[in-house]
């Protein structure tokens, strides 16, 4: 059950309570369903009881108690708990297999928008290495969420940045811009949108249908990026560590351009993320040598931290786009990596143990985690190594 489907299920529960005379309220147009916050439990939480408490003239806890029986027993809902002032916490049945199957189906585009939003975003940023890297990655994140994006740097980019922003395997991970100029000099920004990468990274041919003239391009949403400058050239760190050093801190924090990003220890979050992905690849190779493959099922036996981290990855992408903060993607990858590294020891059979459905299910979960790590690193322009 998707969050949208669950939101509809919650509204149907409200309607049943109203029809049975248990609540005297108007059924709201929408019910917010989000991952549970601190102190919550289950897969999703909704504040619909708090939303209805005032019009119903009842305490939120009482409204939640009225709604809970109408949610319990619904297909796809395993359990409903009430926490805090009246939050309904919903645990879904079969969430793990459905989530893993969705990730493995969508691969690196898991968390991407299903289609274009029609929103045009014009990014401006100064000719400074950190601003340029953040601008390029934010453009990718926005495109993943269905926006049409064009970028403009105040002046031409410094060729010396080719090191930390470089090229690998024939795929450009470096910074490119569509125009040069500032918000105060819009004449410099005349760009043919048909040549600009559009939603999901696809070049937009035109906003038209065959036989009709192209629809006018909507007015762009102008965004000026002014992150705290790097302070020094990150090129001595190399492309991957250099980009991570610029992207992992929040834009308002000053990045640390030090060799700590090159150290292969648990204290280095970039190392943990890349090591976790390499471990996923190793688990797949070792499983193949043992003669079994991944198969999502309910036999995983957990762990909820890894499932939660994978389930909330699309929310992290959406939040990074909404807040213009690609550091949210980097930090969420660390969360996925840490959960995976704690889980990896349960994937393969031990000793003379034969591969079981649980092992195949756990391998599928590990592969899903590796897929998310690879997709997130790709958005950041950082390599995902198969061996480390």
The pLDDT, as a whole number, for residue 161 is: 59
Q: 326 near 320, Cβ under 8 Å?
A: yes
> Angle at which helices 269-290 and 327-343 pack, to 10 degrees?
40
CB crowding 248-279: b at 16 or more within 10 Å, else e = bbbbeeebebeeebbeeeeebbbbbbbbbbbb
Evaluated on CA atoms 362, 378, 233, 255, the torsion sign reads negative
User: Can you list the pairs that 315-323 forms with residues at least 24 positions away whose Cβ atoms lie under 8 Å?
Assistant: 315/34, 315/35, 316/111, 317/111, 317/112, 317/141, 317/144, 317/145, 317/379, 318/145, 320/138, 320/141, 321/138, 321/141, 321/142, 321/144, 321/145, 321/147
Q: Regarding predicted confidence, which is higher, 358 or 73?
A: 358
Beta partners for 179?
152
Max CA distance (Å), the chain: 71
Read off the pLDDT of residues 37-51 as tens digits, 9 standing for 90 and up: 777 777 889 999 999
- Which one of 124-138, 245-259, 304-318 scores highest in mean pLDDT? 245-259
Read off the pLDDT of residues 139-165 as tens digits, 9 standing for 90 and up: 999 999 999 998 887 776 666 655 555
The pLDDT, as a whole number, for residue 190 is: 41
The pLDDT, as a whole number, for residue 194 is: 42
Domains of the chain: 3-93 (3.30.1360.70), 116-235 (no CATH), 269-380 (1.10.730.10)
Q: Are strands 33-34 and 44-46 parallel, antiparallel or unpaired?
A: antiparallel
Q: Is the overall model pTM greater than 0.85, yes or no?
A: no
Task: Tell me how far apart the alpha carbons of residues 235 and 286 are, in angstroms, rounded to a whole number.
Answer: 36
What is the average pLDDT across 253-278? 95
What is the average pLDDT across 311-335? 93
Q: Regarding predicted confidence, which is higher, 240 or 214?
A: 240
What is the average pLDDT across 3-31? 91
Sheet hosting strand 148-153, strand order edge to edge: 179-180, 148-153, 120-125, 221-224
The pLDDT of residue 167 is above 50? no
The region of weakest confidence among 176-180, 190-194, 315-319 is: 190-194
Q: Residue 279: CA atoms inside 13 Å, Cβ hemisphere, count?
A: 24
Read off the pLDDT of residues 98-119 as tens digits, 9 standing for 90 and up: 889 999 999 999 999 888 888 8
Average confidence score pLDDT of the chain: 83
The pLDDT, as a whole number, for residue 193 is: 44
């Amino acid at each position: 059950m998707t969050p949208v489907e669950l939101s509809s299920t919650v509204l149907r529960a409200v309607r049943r309570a109203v029809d049975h005379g248990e609540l005297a309220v108007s059924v709201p147009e929408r019910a917010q369903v989000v991952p549970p916050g601190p102190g919550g439990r289950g897969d999703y939480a909704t504040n619909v009881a708090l939303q209805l408490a005032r019009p119903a003239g009842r305490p939120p806890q009482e409204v939640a108690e009225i709604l809970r029986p109408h949610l319990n027993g619904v297909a796809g809902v395993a359990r409903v708990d009430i926490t805090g002032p009246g939050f309904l916490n919903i645990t879904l049945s079969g969430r793990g297999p459905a989530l893993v199957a969705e990730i493995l189906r969508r691969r690196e585009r898991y968390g991407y928008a299903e289609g274009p939003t029609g929103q045009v975003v014009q990014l401006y940023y100064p000719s400074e290495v950190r601003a340029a890297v953040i601008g390029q990655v934010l453009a990718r994140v926005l495109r993943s969420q269905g926006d049409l994006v064009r970028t403009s740097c105040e002046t031409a980019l410094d060729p010396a940045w080719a090191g930390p922003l470089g090229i690998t395997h024939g795929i450009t991970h470096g910074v490119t811009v569509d125009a040069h100029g500032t918000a105060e000099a819009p004449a410099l920004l005349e760009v043919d949108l048909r040549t600009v990468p559009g939603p999901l990274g696809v070049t937009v041919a035109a906003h038209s249908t065959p036989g009709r003239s192209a629809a006018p391009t909507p007015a762009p949403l102008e965004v000026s990026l002014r992150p705290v400058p790097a302070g020094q050239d990150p090129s001595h760190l190399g492309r991957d560590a250099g980009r991570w050093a610029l992207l992992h801190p929040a834009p308002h924090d000053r990045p640390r351009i030090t060799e700590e990003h090159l150290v292969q220890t648990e204290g280095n979050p970039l190392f943990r993320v890349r090591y976790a992905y390499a471990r996923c690849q190793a688990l797949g190779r070792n499983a193949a040598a043992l003669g079994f493959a991944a198969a999502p099922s309910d036999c995983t036996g957990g762990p909820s931290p890894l499932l939660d981290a994978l389930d909330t990855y699309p929310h992290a992408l959406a939040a990074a786009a909404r807040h213009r903060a690609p550091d949210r993607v980097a930090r969420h990858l660390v969360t996925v990596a840490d959960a995976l590294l704690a889980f990896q020891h349960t994937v393969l059979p031990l000793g003379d143990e034969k591969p079981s459905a649980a092992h195949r299910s756990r391998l599928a979960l590990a592969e899903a985690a590796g897929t998310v790590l690879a997709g997130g690193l790709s958005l950041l322009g950082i390599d995902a190594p198969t061996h480390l």
